[in-house]
Amino acid sequence: MLILEIIMVSLGAIRANVMRSILTTLGIVIGVAAVISVVALGEGAQASVEQQIERMGTNVLTIRPGQQMWGGVSRGETSQLSVSDAEALRDRSEGLLSVAPEVSSRQQIAYLRWNSNNQIVGTWPDYFPMYDHALQAGRYFNRGEVQGRRRVAVLGYNVPEALGGTSAGALIGQTIQVRGVPFEVVGVLQEKGEAAWIRPDDQIFIPVSTAQYRVFGGRERLNSIYAATASPQQLDQAFGVIDRIMRREHRIRPGAEADFNIRNSSDLLATFNETNQTFALLLASIAGVSLLVGGIGIMNIMLVSVTERTREIGVRKALGATRRTILFQFLVESLALCTLGGIVGVGAGYGAAELLTRFAEWDTIIAPAAVFTALAFSAGVGLFFGILPAQRAAKLDPIVALRYE
């Protein structure tokens, strides 16, 4: 009964000073909003990393030219990957690996009167099962066509749309121009979605030999070689096998520095996601600082409020309020201020996450646990920073308080 009354009194005090209450809680609002969006971003990033690794293949290793270094400059022309490396990996791994080379570059595409600019990927048919590319129409190209440097193309899901919106089925057998070279469309893939920097739906797949000698003008150098195992558990073993075969191919002694590097999907993503993490860290520190500043703001205003209301406290004590009831009254006030700020902050954080998703295209997930934690945290801030002012109020001597002008 009494508790309820005291809570009413506290809420009344907040209502009596609406503007001040709003300004006071601003720090908490911003802090909680930042916490919510940080967590939403984090959860979103986590989910999208997992999703992207899934799309990039959980069992695929990527071999690239250059040293085993992070984001560094490779030694350029001196190190090369060639189709014979890919063949060696395929033929000497005793069935452990399925292998696909990649040579790629963006090229101008034309079909009838439509033009488009797409990534051309020269590879082997083994590439399709490796990345779970399913057909929506037509067929993949085959080994014979690779051997014969045939001008056949398999289009990514979005390509028909870019080429005038012709249906996938109608495009099969049609001729498109890739850098002026005519290609027969033999297949169109199903939708795949994007993973990190890779947009397979916009890509056009052609035999690697055709790409090297008919489109890119005799370019032997591969961008990368992909090697997949049957299951993710075999990746460690595959790592060793690839290293051994590649060293032999490149005549590098065991122990000496390799001129290629082998990475799995999550390694590749880690570098890609570094910027995201920096941003999250920034937001997290904003959250921390504004919660702290917000808490100090609350304490400050509560101290002012206690001083302003010294007489009121005196009256209440004279009429029988105990230390505890006064302490409780002021604690509830700062608690309520912070919790209200927290609720508004959750809303604002929700909005911010929504904006990030919509305009920055970052994946965000609002976890109920995060909302709960943020609210609990703001209530905690209210309690922590409310204690000092409330104690000061509770300790006031009734006579002194009543005399206060």
Partner 1 sequence: MNDVIIRTEGLQKHYVLGAETVRAVRGVDLTIHSGEFVAIMGPSGSGKSTFMNMIGCLDTPTAGKYWLDGQLVSTLSEDELARVRNQAIGFVFQTFNLLPRATALHNVELPLIYAGVGGKERRERATEKLRLVGLADRMDHKPPEMSGGQRQRVAVARALVNEPALLLADEPTGNLDSTTSEEIMVQLRALNEAGQTIVIVTHERDIAEVARRQVHLRDGLIERDFLNSTVETTV
Binding site for partner 1 (CB under 8 A): 1-2, 5, 12, 16, 311-312, 314-325, 398-399, 402
- C-beta of 4: minimal distance to partner 1 in Å? 9
Q: How far is the CB of 5 from partner 1 (least distance, A)?
A: 5
Q: Using CB atoms within 10 A of its CB, is residue 60 exposed (0-12), middle (13-18) or buried (19+)?
A: buried
Shortest Å distance, C-beta 22 to partner 1: 19
Query: Would you give the DSSP letter of residue 191?
Result: P
Q: Compare residues 350 and 404 and give the one whose CB is closer to partner 1.
A: 404
Closest CA to 328 of 2, 25, 22, 28: 2
Tell me which residue of 121, 114, 108 sits closest to 165, measured CA to CA.
Answer: 114
For partner 1, the closer CB: 281 or 400: 400
Nearest to 21 by CA among 288, 278, 315, 338: 338
What is the rounded distance in angstroms from the CA atom of residue 79 to the CA atom of residue 76? 6
Q: Structure tokens of 245?
A: 């075969």
Least Cβ distance, residue 391 to partner 1 (angstroms)? 14
Considering beta carbons, is residue 313 or 366 the nearer one to partner 1?
313
C-beta of 120 vs 326, nearer to partner 1:
326
Please give the distance of CA 257 from its chain centroid, rounded to a whole number: 33
Cα separation, 100 vs 90, whole angstroms? 9
Give the nearer residue to partner 1 in terms of CB position, either 282 or 399.
399
Q: Is 8 or 376 the residue whose CB approaches partner 1 more closely?
A: 8
CB of 336 to partner 1, least distance (A): 17
Strands 181-189 and 175-178: antiparallel
Identify whether the C-beta of residue 302 lies closer than 8 Å to the C-beta of residue 389. Answer: yes
N-to-C CA span, the chain: 32
**Closest distance between partner 1 and the C-beta of residue 392, in Å?**
15
